[in-house]
Amino acid sequence: MTTQQDCLALDARDELAPLRDLFDLPDGVVYLDGNSLGALPRATAARVQQVATAEWGRDLIKSWNTAGWIDLPQRVGDKIGRLVGAGAGELVVADSTSVNLYKALSAALDLARSDMPGRRRIVSERFNFPTDLYIAESLARQHGFELVLAEPEDIPGLIDEGLAVLMLTHVNYRTGRMHRMEETNRAVHAAGALVVWDLAHSAGAVPVNLKGSGPREAAADFAVGCGYKYLNGGPGAPAFVWAHPQHTARMDAEQRWQPLSGWLGHAAPFMFTPDYHPAAGIQRFVCGTPPVLSLAALECGVDTMLAAEPLGGPAALRRKSVALTELFIQLVEARCAGHGLTLQTPRAAAERGSQVSFSRAEGGYAIMQALIARGVIGDFRAPDILRFGFTPLYTRFADVWDAVEHLAQVLQSGEWREARFNQRAAVT
């Protein structure tokens, strides 16, 4: 079995180790929750301070032009595009993941109604993230579609002549199971339907190529994603939305709207006309005024991801992610055996994102709280999931060893049974 010395040796050889210095991480903490909220980049506080005191405080409203505030959604969007296989000008930062999913799924359903009028089925994974399912349920009710939820293994059987739109999260938030994106895209398009991807647990964590490696059939149709997880944009950071250029070109030609036709999605917002004309391309998916302070923070977070490019980029990040998660699984199963933990994350690396989840019938929430009290921060997802995220930019192999050591002690000592660890907080 891997020893503590082996973990230290792996850290000494880690080609990505210098990237940890880009983050302001508290001493004595093993942070395994970057899949929920990314750590603070060292550059962020100074950058936000500069925007607040100089660009806003000194230059006031002039900064929309002089500091390029108005261009931030596209500028940061182009940087994120480099991480997910999107071209320049194809992806934009705006609003939240939920709002962007409403826009993207609405656009997909609008196209489906035109091209496939007899198809009324939206399919998604039963344990997709709830906000995705709630948005899909709302749109299904509004437009007369049927939302069908299925287990991952049953989804291929639902990709048929009745399918209008398949909506999936690339990496499942509970289990870390990762769908095969290109293979799924091909199957959906062969059936004549459309596919919308949520990249909340993918962007910045695993390699993503929205446009595929071959013909159009291999590419996605629409995608949304989160700015505050692996992109390290800070709590509540704005999200992003992408549409395949084929779809935005058609929307341009046919003057199709996305449903939230806000003023900055207008072709000429500063003409202040009373009627709406959608902007060209992805810009039509912008709605309201961009949150400048949050965008400045998000840009710092995305820049930490792009700093990995000279060190091997997404491929190097993926190799380390696989190594970290495999080590964690190996150590937990060896050192915590007999304590009721059941692996929920796929063992096959090709089917796993950058997180590991274990279930336990009793005390999952309290066990996580006991770990957090010891400085090992993961999170809990009801009803029984202990979830651990591994961010290759700053997670060390020694952190994996330490986390499992604390987990073993918590389980062996039974300290999780203490009353203080069994009081539910509002956020788990």
Residue-by-residue DSSP string for 292-314: HHHHHHHHHHHHHHHTTGGGTHH
pLDDT in tens, 94-129: 999 999 999 999 999 999 999 999 999 999 999 999
Residue 56 to residue 59: CA distance in whole angstroms: 6
Do residues 83 and 236 make contact, with C-beta atoms less than 8 angstroms apart? no
pLDDT of residue 400: 98
CA-based angle 367:171:200, to the nearest 5? 90
**pTM to 2 decimals?**
0.96
- Phi first, then psi: give them for residue 391, nearest 5 degrees: -100, 110
pLDDT of residue 154: 96
78, amino acid identity: D
Determine if the peptide bond prior to 245 is cis (ω within 30°).
Answer: no
Please, how many CA atoms are within 13 Å of residue 317, restricted to the half-sphere of its CB? 27
Residue 96 to residue 94: CA distance in whole angstroms: 7
Is the alpha carbon torsion for 156, 158, 159, 164 positive or negative?
A: negative
pLDDT of residue 214: 79
Altogether, the residues listed in the chain come to a count of 428
Residue-by-residue DSSP string for 232-248: ---TT---EEEE-HHHH
pLDDT in tens, 19-53: 999 999 999 999 999 999 999 999 999 999 999 99
Average pLDDT (397-417) is 97
Place of tokens 């505050």: 228
pLDDT of residue 213: 84
Tokens of 232: 């390290």
Do residues 366 and 295 make contact, with C-beta atoms less than 8 angstroms apart? no
Confidence of residue 197 (pLDDT cuts 50, 70, 90): very high
pLDDT of residue 352: 97
Do residues 386 and 411 make contact, with C-beta atoms less than 8 angstroms apart? no
pLDDT in tens, 201-246: 999 999 999 998 878 899 999 999 999 999 999 999 999 999 999 9
Which of the residue ranges 154-168, 212-226, 331-345 would you say has the lowest mean pLDDT?
212-226
Do residues 135 and 105 make contact, with C-beta atoms less than 8 angstroms apart? yes
Place of tokens 């199963």: 333
Confidence of residue 289 (pLDDT cuts 50, 70, 90): very high
Cα separations (Å) of 398 from 223, 319, 358? 35, 17, 20
CA-based angle 78:167:304, to the nearest 5? 30
308, amino acid identity: A
3-state secondary structure of 272: coil
Q: How many other C-beta atoms are found inside a 10 Å radius of the C-beta of residue 108?
A: 24
Which one-letter DSSP state was computed for residue 52? Answer: I
Res. 373: pLDDT tops 90: yes
Please, how many CA atoms are within 13 Å of residue 203, restricted to the half-sphere of its CB? 34
Do residues 136 and 147 make contact, with C-beta atoms less than 8 angstroms apart? yes
Average pLDDT (166-195) is 97
19, amino acid identity: L
Average pLDDT (291-303) is 98
Residues with active-site annotation: 129, 198, 228-229, 387
What percentage of the chain reaches a pLDDT higher than 70? 100
- Phi first, then psi: give them for residue 239, nearest 5 degrees: -100, -175
As beta bridge partners, residue 345 has none
Report all structural domains of the chain as residue ranges with CATH numbers, in order of start: 4-41+313-422 (3.90.1150.10), 68-303 (3.40.640.10)
- Mean pLDDT, the chain, as a whole number? 96
